[in-house]
Chain A
Amino acid sequence: MRRVYADNNATTRVDERVVEEMLPAFTQVYGNPSSMHTLGAEAEKRIRLARERVAKFIKADPSEIVFTSCGTESDNAALFGTFEAYPNKKHIVTTKVEHPAVLNPCQLLAKKDYSVTFLSVNSEGMLDLDELKDSIRDDTAIVSIMYANNETGVVFPIEQIGQIVKERGVVFHVDAVQAAGKIPLDVEKLNVDLLSLSGHKIHAPKGVGALYIRRGTKLRPLLVGGHQEKGRRGGTENVPYIIGFGKACELASEHLPEMNTRVKTMRDRLQNGLLKSVPHASLNGAKSPRGPNTLSIRFEYVEGESILLLLDREGIAASSGSACTSGSLEPSHVLRAMGVPYTSVHGSIRLSLSRFNTDQDIDHILEKFPPIIARLREISPFAKASAKEVNA
């Protein structure tokens, strides 16, 4: 059976060239970078190269890159570290559609003596920049806004937001985990102070991430231990994974044009094909700028988990904003914030591509997908959504 992996916003396949550079670090260059011997020095040298590669990827200085264990750690370090550094500031501005790695720390802070403004989005998933301007207060410590949404692919105007936040002299954190490798990242142009990255979304392995900390930004470390990362993150460096992450960043820069041409073309073909062949289907965030690889479609009168199970049987790996897959009972907070109608909020499917996808993959999905929806609608008590009607 043909296997099509279309869940690249969840995680990606590790690039062979990344693995190749990592392997020596396990059995040959296994020294501790802090050690005073040749093996340690060699490990240190490779980390330096990785740091340079990550810095180049986002147009930062290598001294501004701190390696972490994942995107969630980067987000947590940015939020908690900023509040620790500004004990008199008690307010945070973020959005209703952030990843749980930002949302849940904010909700935790809200339960203590902090106040949090969760900015709303419209039905297309876009922010109101006037609401943002009005929300920043004198005691606002940090504004934390994602670059690209993991569920819908909707891209926020970070450059404009950075300008607004900078004028108010507030620390600006951007969760760029889903933007990396899809949108060019330039921390200077964007006016960001803190930026989170994750390795496994860009064909590095799981278990490594980075936090960009603009020089001069006050931040208390989340992990306190040895002097690693110049005291900004204790703990022995995860040498092989950091090496892999560095290589993945270099490759992501090289493949960025391909993501916005070949991959985007595949995504668009998939999008148009599905919307044309499946009745009662619509695109989430249709009128917003979106990343080149993500497609989120809602299907009325069917439930996401059933779709995923049937897709899986056809070898297609996808994701849904449905409640049932996560074990929670409420559908995705992102789709609810967008006010997706209740007839289709449980039936949203996300397909996310990468450079490893091919045109044959798209053909396979386009062939297998429509009958699955038709079949589930036949079982559904809302049979009026008959497969014969087709979107005009």
Chain B
Amino acid sequence: MWDYTEKVKDHFYNPRNVGVIENPDGVGEVGSLACGDMLKLTFKLDDEGKIGDVKFQTFGCGSAIASASALTELIKGKTLEQADKITNQDIAEYLGGLPEEKMHCSVMGREALEAAIANYRGEKAPKEEGEIVCKCFGVTDKAIERAIKENGLTTVEQVTYYTKAGGGCGQCHPKIQEIIDRVIKETGGGIWRVKPERKKLSNIQKMKLVEETIKNEIAPALQKEGGDIELIDIEGDRVVVALRGTCSQCVLSGWTMQSFVQAKLREFVSPELVVEEAKE
């Protein structure tokens, strides 16, 4: 059984903004019955040009419904320029993460949003551009390339998880590999510096990396809010920290620990890490 986060479950059991807007300003429709999931997004702009109302309909699995629901919450009240910047990672992060095999649900959300914005602007949706690589799921080289760049993908399997390409007959696997190789070459591997491929770390390397991540990625954000964080101890995969300043009294400190501190450490150091708050 999938290990869905509580947030995914909540958005699946209680989806927000279900339905269709009559006379919408923009409509985006992606996926199909045959492919196993489909998303229809409609929105209306308010007087200030912001997304005032947005509704969705989804045919698909639990994470597809949750991703669509999350998307509507993310874009409500935003201008089209702001909404246009939302990536599939933003959708996944909003939900506290998705199983990697299900990341294509977040990509479908982003694609529907782009299609709807393109529809409003009277343009062609970016999804329709490029040459079809995966015939089973109708995925283009452009769509694959984009998913590789935005998510730092390095294997065919990952491309399948994120775009569905290659998930059917498998004949396009060599072509997908070619695209991965080309993108790596073109970007000089640059995008992977952001998300380094994980190697097995020695204990000393791990401690150093935890320290650096807290110093460079976590503490500055907390300090901005008048808080701070102190590393107390590292024991195997257990990282003990103490929140300081405003964070220590904050009612959301539990959330900060789980969704921010632990998420960042897992992203930059190791996905096995568990963060605990020091008991004083």
Contact = CB atoms under 8 A, between A and B. Distances in A.
Interface in A195-247: none
B164 A382 contact: no
B12 A306 contact: yes
Nearest to B160: A329
A285 to B, nearest CB: 22
A331 B61 CA distance: 12
Contacts of A303: 36-37, 59-61, 64
Interface in A328-349: 328-331, 342-343, 346
B269 interface: no
Contacts of A331: 36
21 contacts: A302-B59, A303-B36, A303-B61, A306-B12, A306-B61, A309-B62, A310-B13, A322-B61, A324-B36, A324-B60, A324-B62, A324-B102, A327-B101, A328-B167, A329-B104, A330-B168, A379-B15, A379-B59, A380-B58, A381-B38, A381-B40
B89 interface: no
B252 interface: no
Contacts, number: 68
B43 interface: no
Contacts of B57: 379-381, 383
Interface in B210-263: none
B60 A306 contact: yes
Contacts of B38: 381
Given A327-B101, A329-B164, A380-B57, A313 B36 contact: no
- Most chain B CB within 10 A, of A322, A324, A325, A343, is at A324
Interface string B55-70: 0011111101100000
A222 B131 CA distance: 47
Nearest to A328: B167
Interface string A107-137: 0000000000000000000000000000000
B204 interface: no
A379 B65 contact: yes
Interface of B: 12-13, 15, 18, 29, 33-34, 36-40, 57-62, 64-65, 101-102, 104, 136-137, 160, 164, 167-168
Contacts of A383: 57
A378 B18 contact: yes
A301 interface: yes
- Chain A interface secondary structure, helix, strand, loop or mixed? loop
A360 B57 CA distance: 35
B58 A381 contact: yes
Contacts of A381: 29, 38-40, 57-59
Nearest to A331: B36
A39 interface: no
Nearest to B34: A342
Interface residues of A, number: 27
A329 B12 contact: no
A308 to B, nearest CB: 9
B29 A346 contact: no
Interface of A: 301-306, 309-310, 313, 322-325, 327-331, 342-343, 346, 378-383
Contacts of A329: 36, 104, 137, 160, 164, 167-168
B178 to A, nearest CB: 21
Nearest to B104: A329
- Most chain A CB within 10 A, of B12, B36, B137, B168, is at B36
Given A327-B101, A382-B33, A306 B62 contact: yes
Nearest to B69: A379
A381 B160 CA distance: 25
B39 to A, nearest CB: 8
B86 to A, nearest CB: 21
A3 B42 CA distance: 39
Contacts of B167: 328-330
A383 B60 CA distance: 14
Contacts of B34: 342
Contacts of A301: 33, 59
Nearest to B58: A379
Contacts of A306: 12, 60-62, 65
A380 B59 contact: yes
A309 B33 contact: no
Contacts of A309: 12, 62
Contacts of B164: 329
A346 to B, nearest CB: 5
A70 B11 CA distance: 39
Given A313-B13, A329-B164, A329-B167, 17 more contacts: A301-B59, A302-B59, A303-B59, A303-B60, A303-B64, A304-B61, A309-B62, A324-B60, A329-B36, A329-B160, A331-B36, A342-B33, A343-B33, A378-B18, A379-B18, A379-B57, A379-B59
A301 B64 CA distance: 14
Nearest to A320: B61
A346 B59 CA distance: 10
Contacts of A342: 33-34
Contacts of A380: 57-59
A114 B7 CA distance: 50
A60 B37 CA distance: 49
A327 B63 CA distance: 12
Contacts of B136: 330
A310 B14 CA distance: 11
Nearest to A312: B1
In order of increasing CB-CB distance, the 5 nearest A-B pairs are A329-B167, A324-B61, A305-B61, A381-B57, A342-B34
Contacts of B104: 329
Nearest to B29: A381
